[in-house]
Amino acid sequence: MKEEGLTELEIRTWGRHIRLVRGAPAQGPPTPVLQEGREEAPEDRLYTIRAPMVGTFYRAPAPDAEPFVKEGDRVKAGQTVCIIEAMKIMNEIESEVEGTIVKVLAENAKPVEYGQELFLVRLD
């Protein structure tokens, strides 16, 4: 895939479906950030969930469905928080941390860039 410059490959044949996605380069562990103007304290540790790809951001699995998460919701590592549509493929984006959603930073059904801030999470 790398030699051909492909980031995704999808094959459907004989009733089978295979999808390969080449991920972004490995990143270090999450780095908590502090809210400006606050003293450093464990309850003020914040983490930003960022877009791992370019695409269209969706807060819910369908237009008439409830959002995956809302401000104030608790999330677990591995929990789906949104979808990013890229090249007509819906990619579920999962939280990498446990905590509480403090703020939704992206606008529903709008384009997002790689690395763009999507959610602010207060770490447990």
Percent of the chain with pLDDT over 70: 77
CB 121 within 8 A of CB 99: yes
pLDDT in tens, 46-69: 999 999 999 999 999 999 999 999
CATH number, span 28-123: 2.40.50.100
Query: For 37, left (φ over 0), alpha (ψ -120 to 50), or beta?
Result: left
Whether this prediction's pTM lies above 0.75 is answered by no
Annotated domain spans of the chain: 28-123
d(CA 71, CA 121): 9
Three-state secondary structure call for residue 75:
strand
